[in-house]
Amino acid sequence: MMESSRQIMAIGNHPALPATIEELSRHGWSFFQPNNLHEALAIVEDHDCRIGLIFVEEDTVSLPLEMERASEPPALHWVVLVEDVERLSDKARDLIYSYCFAYRAAPLDTRSINVLLEGALGMAKLQDRYDAYRESQQNADLRMVGDTPVMQHLYRTIHKVASVDAPVLITGESGTGKELTARAIHELSSRRQGPFNVVNCGALPAGLIQSELFGHEKGAFTGANQRKTGIIENSRDGTLFLDEIGDLPLDMQVNLLRFLETLTVFRVGGLKEIPVDVRVLAATHVDLEKAVERGDFREDLFHRLNVLQVQTPALREHPEDIEPLANFFFRRFFADKPAKVRGFSHESLVVMRQHRWPGNIREMVNRVRRAMIMCEHRLISPGDLGLERRNGHSRGSDSLQQARDMAECEAIKAALARNKHKILHAARELDISRVTLYRLLEKHGIDRNSGQDEAASDFPSTSETIQLT
């Protein structure tokens, strides 16, 4: 990015402006004086002009706001000159506070204005460096953010597996970027021109899975008024991403295995074997080997899918990426932000580093998005993020989400204890499925045995239990 130069956009009809411009020119500044917003935007586009100087009157004060709305991210750092702050309306004062780098009230001497302009130029240069740094954090071809060794390792693995046309099993906690990883593999593979289709195996209604995956012929069952191709066929020459593969019912696992072995499908009610060239990527946040041990997942299918492996790291394993990620999402949601928000307060960055991020990067996406909507100040505070500083001197109030998480965690531990740590029984008492309970155990980092004393914890492992340590 080009270094910011000493070019200034000067705005206003104040009688002192021409003399001020003349004097400042002696300090090496050059000036543009646009007549309207359109001209101002053209100057920003065509020249390396990063500083605005504005003599604020009621009719000019909204220009910084209009320019910021028209060119995102904000193009200029504004230095505001004000004859008399007290005479400005509240709205004008608010606009100055929200959109301008600095202001100077009368008496307006050139030396002090020059100091402010130097400061604004320094800020523009700092921003250029920051933008360059942020771009370097973003792995361009994968559209993934993070530059730490664990993320570098992930990128290398993605590149390696992308070049081989074999199934890949992507493992990692919820929200760590498994789907993003699958997309990156597809986009870097020779199939990138073909479709990339996603099936969430846990979300398909039991009665529809077969038809959704394999399609059906007209009249195959009541309501099948016409032929429908399934998502496997629709992924021909592309990639099919099977998310939450651990949730696929056992009977469907047999059909999927058959497809992977023959690369042909039978539509429901069909007699013809249809060849389909598609690469399958699968993801799971549960331990499939343990699911195999419990009899919940077919061993032959596991081996078919587990040809190549990619593991997405939990966010707490690469805390140095927290700030670049937060800034990345800040920019992504920039257009939805309330006018004043400029970034994160130092305290927010500290609490984000301290937070454990059980929901990983998805949790960060949600917290940043919410904070940008809720924030009423220039900088996002820990409270806006729903995170309070935890340094042993708690401020006494938990966010609603933290309170909910704590209550959920306690309810699960209590149900496990009451049910002698039998997953099925505890899940029944909590009125949730076993799969959901496993997920919650992982989310809260609860050991199934928690609360048991050492001597009592060696009960036999049955198909109803899971070991999360």
Ligand X SMILES: Nc1ncnc2c1ncn2[C@@H]1O[C@H](COP(=O)(O)OP(=O)(O)OP(=O)(O)O)[C@@H](O)[C@H]1O
Binding site for ligand X (CB under 6 A): 144-146, 172, 174-180, 243, 285, 312, 328, 361-362, 365
Residue 52 or 167: the one with the smaller Cβ distance to ligand X is: 167
Q: Which candidate, 108, 352, 249, places its Cα nearest to that of 257?
A: 249
CB-based burial, 7-26: b 16+ in 10 Å, e otherwise: bbbbbbebeebeebbeebee
The nearer residue to ligand X, 183 or 298, going by C-beta atoms, is: 183
Which residue is closest to ligand X by CB?
177
- Of 196 and 328, CB closest to ligand X: 328
Q: Closest approach of Cβ 143 to ligand X, in Å?
A: 7
- Angle subtended by helix axes 63-70 and 90-99, to nearest 10: 40
> Cβ of residue 31: shortest distance to ligand X, in angstroms?
41
Residue 71 DSSP SS3: coil
Residue 180 beta carbon to ligand X: minimum distance, rounded to whole angstroms = 4
Strands (E), 193-352: 196-200, 215-216, 228-229, 239-243, 264-265, 274-275, 279-284, 308-311, 343-344
Residue 212 or 363: which CB sits closer to ligand X?
363
Give phi and psi for 241, each to the nearest 5: -105, 115
Dist. CA 192–CA 187, nearest whole Å: 5
Q: Which tokens in the block code for residue 362?
A: 């998805």
Query: For the sheet containing 308-311, what is the strand order?
Result: 196-200, 239-243, 279-284, 168-171, 308-311
Min dist CB 27 to ligand X, Å, is: 43
Nearer to ligand X, 419 or 433 (CB): 433
Give the residue with the Cβ less far from ligand X, 233 or 287: 287
From the CB of 291, what's the least distance to ligand X, in Å?
15
Evaluate whether 164 touches 275 at the Cβ level (below 8 Å).
no
Other Cβ atoms within 10 Å of 414 Cβ, number: 14
Nearer to ligand X, 186 or 285 (CB): 285
In this structure, is the dihedral angle defined by the CA atoms of residues 43, 49, 54 and 58, taken in order, positive or negative?
A: positive
Rounded to a whole number of angstroms, the minimum distance from the CB of residue 279 to ligand X is 18
Quote the least distance from Cβ 373 to ligand X, whole Å: 17
Q: Which is nearer to ligand X, 48 or 147 (CB)?
A: 147
Paired residues of 227 in beta bridges = none
**Closest distance of CB 141 from ligand X, Å:** 13
Q: Which is nearer to ligand X, 228 or 285 (CB)?
A: 285
By beta-carbon proximity to ligand X, the closer residue of 157 and 211 is: 157
Beta strands in 285-350 (DSSP E): 308-311, 343-344
To ligand X, the closest distance from the beta carbon of 370 in angstroms equals: 14
Rounded to a whole number of angstroms, the minimum distance from the CB of residue 188 to ligand X is 15
Q: Which two tokens stand for residue 60?
A: 């000019």
Consecutive H or E run containing 54: strand 51-55
Of 58 and 336, the one with the shorter C-beta distance to ligand X is: 336
Kindly state the smallest distance separating residue 205's Cβ from ligand X, in Å. Answer: 18
Looking at beta carbons only, is 214 or 328 nearer to ligand X?
328
Alpha helices in 35-147 (DSSP H): 37-46, 63-70, 90-99, 110-137
Give which of 368, 399, 327 is closest to 130, Cα–Cα.
Answer: 327
At its nearest, how many Å lie between ligand X and the CB of residue 336?
Answer: 15
N-term to C-term CA, the chain: 48
Q: Among the residues of 148-295, which ranges form H helices?
A: 149-162, 178-188, 209-214, 231-234, 250-262, 288-294
SS (H, E, C) 359-425: CHHHHHHHHHHHHHHHCCCCEECHHHHCCCCCCCCCCCCCCHHHHHHHHHHHHHHHHHHHCCCCHHH
HSE-CB for 265 with a 13 A CA cutoff: 25
61: its two tokens = 């004060």
